[in-house]
Amino acid sequence: MTQRRGTPLRVAMIGHAFMGAAHSQAWRSAPRFFELPRDVVMAVVCGTDAGRTGAAAERLGWAEAATDWRAVVARDDIDLVDVCTPGDTHAEIALAALEAGKHVLCEKPLANTVDEARSMAEAADKAERSGVRSMVGFTYRRVPAIALARELVRAGRIGQVRHVRAQYLQDWIADPEAPLSWRLVKERAGHGALGDIGAHIVDLTQFITGDQVAEVSGYLDTFVTERPLPTAHSGLSGTADATQRGAVTVDDAASFLARFTSGAMGVFEATRFATGRKNAIRIEVNGARGSLAFDFEDMNVLNFFDAEEDVVTAGFRRILVTEPDHPYVGAWWPPGHLLGYEHAFSHQVVDLVRAIDEGVNPSPSFDEGYQVQRVLEAVAVSSELRTWQDTEEVA
């Protein structure tokens, strides 16, 4: 193995469920496929239950298990804290970690409220002056086809952006008898489909276009207002107690129109009730010189239309994004050997570790996470008031 320079980066991960498993795979894999400037040590994973956390540590590859995140954050032998918990704990954990001088990777959305996100962004700005780095886990940015789309827009290949269309479609709670998970409770999740998956398409469209959502007109709805309470440790797809029910206090679906700062028009949809759609992310960007289209159900492909080609033969070109010259791909397999969902998490680790070593701020920053949070809140306010909302004016 290549000898890496610098001291090892010792990581503590808080939370070990779905996102914790994905992040663990990334911390294991990234140093083995990419030339990183520092070794990565998976030092400790932290959860609320000693037995389950110990089993997670063994299964996911962490050296230790712990149940007190505050004690973990305070440890002198921890360099980076990876926050993979529900949204209601993001602010408290991340703020404590930054105050302790730890680098922070925090899952999206950054927080449950605009006030929390603002405090986190301010703390990150302060910590940055001492060399402490922070990043939000908008992982889909690291899908190679998405990264290529951004490169093509920046190179002017589609000209001035005029339209943006974005959908994130799931169906995991379409069954009204699916149990009431924490993602359906406002106090835990902040928002429903809007925050859980809508945050991703807000970030992705802004990332691809290099533009920002300036104004929105939105509508939120909740189709199933109460659900059976889950049995102990049942998880998202587990069993429920049909005799006891709890209130759903977040949105099931969100749709909104948007105006970008450039004047481009946007149409967004996020729902967890699109029956038959498991994890469909669809982005289309139309410009003066061409268009780009991406569908996560075919995640290794980017469709590109050059409007300046001869109309007789012009059409969308299917680009298989598996060449060594494509973003991130060169470290993996030969051309045509496809990448999957988990690879973007490895790319996230690569970008973060390199930024820390180079002494630069990684992206997306907490400031960027705060900006997305303002867009989400503007959509929620717009739905309530039935008015257009400026994302800069959200309190």
Q: In this structure, are 103 and 161 located in the same domain? A: no
**Cβ partners under 8 Å of residue 103, min gap 6:** 79, 80, 81, 132, 133, 134, 352, 356
Q: In this structure, are 244 and 313 located in the same domain? A: yes
What's the rounded mean pLDDT across residues 314-334? 98
Mean per-residue pLDDT of the chain: 95
pLDDT digits 0-9 by tens, 187-218:
999 999 999 999 999 999 999 999 999 999 99
What's the rounded mean pLDDT across residues 170-184? 96
Residue 331 is assigned to a structural domain of this protein:
yes
pLDDT digits 0-9 by tens, 58-87:
999 999 999 999 999 999 999 999 999 999
Residue 157 is assigned to a structural domain of this protein:
yes
Which residues does residue 14 pair with via DSSP β-bridges, in sequence order? Answer: 46, 83
CATH of residue 209: 3.30.360.10
Instruction: Count CB-CB contacts under 10 A for residue 177.
Output: 11
Q: Which of 80, 108, 140 is the last residue of a domain?
A: 140
Q: In this structure, are 75 and 135 located in the same domain? A: yes
What's the rounded mean pLDDT across residues 111-123? 97
**CB-based burial, 249-280: b 16+ in 10 Å, e otherwise:** bbbbbbbbbbbbeeebebebbbbbbbeebeee
pLDDT digits 0-9 by tens, 246-260:
999 999 999 999 999
CB 228 within 8 A of CB 238: no
Distance CA(270)–CA(167), nearest Å, equals 6
Angle among Cα 123, 369, 117 to the nearest 5 degrees reads 50
Counting residues of the chain whose pLDDT is more than 90, the rounded percentage is 94
What does the pLDDT read at residue 231? 80
Q: In this structure, are 24 and 49 located in the same domain? A: yes
Q: Which of 140, 163, 181 is the last residue of a domain?
A: 140
Q: In this structure, are 304 and 192 located in the same domain? A: yes
What does the pLDDT read at residue 238? 55
Q: In this structure, are 205 and 128 located in the same domain? A: no
Q: Which of 80, 115, 140 is the last residue of a domain?
A: 140
Q: In this structure, are 112 and 151 located in the same domain? A: no
What's the rounded mean pLDDT across residues 170-187? 96
Distance CA(28)–CA(10), nearest Å, equals 13
Instruction: Count CB-CB contacts under 10 A for residue 207.
Output: 21
Residue 381 is assigned to a structural domain of this protein:
no
CB 80 within 8 A of CB 12: yes
pLDDT digits 0-9 by tens, 223-249:
999 999 988 654 444 566 667 999 999
Q: In this structure, are 79 and 131 located in the same domain? A: yes
Phi-psi region of 331 (alpha: psi -120 to 50; beta: other; left: phi over 0): alpha
What does the pLDDT read at residue 340? 98
Q: In this structure, are 249 and 136 located in the same domain? A: no
First to last CA, the chain: 51
The sign of the torsion formed by the CA atoms of 71, 76, 77, 82 equals positive
Residue 379 is assigned to a structural domain of this protein:
no
The sign of the torsion formed by the CA atoms of 203, 394, 193, 168 equals negative
**CB-based burial, 321-352: b 16+ in 10 Å, e otherwise:** bbeeebbbbeebeeeeeebeeebbbbbbbbbb
Domain count, the chain: 2
Residue 257 is assigned to a structural domain of this protein:
yes
What does the pLDDT read at residue 1? 37
Residue 24 is assigned to a structural domain of this protein:
yes
What does the pLDDT read at residue 394? 87
What does the pLDDT read at residue 236? 46
CATH of residue 65: 3.40.50.720
The residue type at 242: A
Q: In this structure, are 90 and 176 located in the same domain? A: no
pTM for this entry: 0.95
What's the rounded mean pLDDT across residues 157-168? 98
Which residue segment(s) compose the domain that 40 sits in? 9-140
pLDDT digits 0-9 by tens, 135-147:
999 999 999 999 9
Q: In this structure, are 156 and 136 located in the same domain? A: no
Q: In this structure, are 200 and 71 located in the same domain? A: no
Q: Over 70: is that where the pLDDT of 104 sits?
A: yes
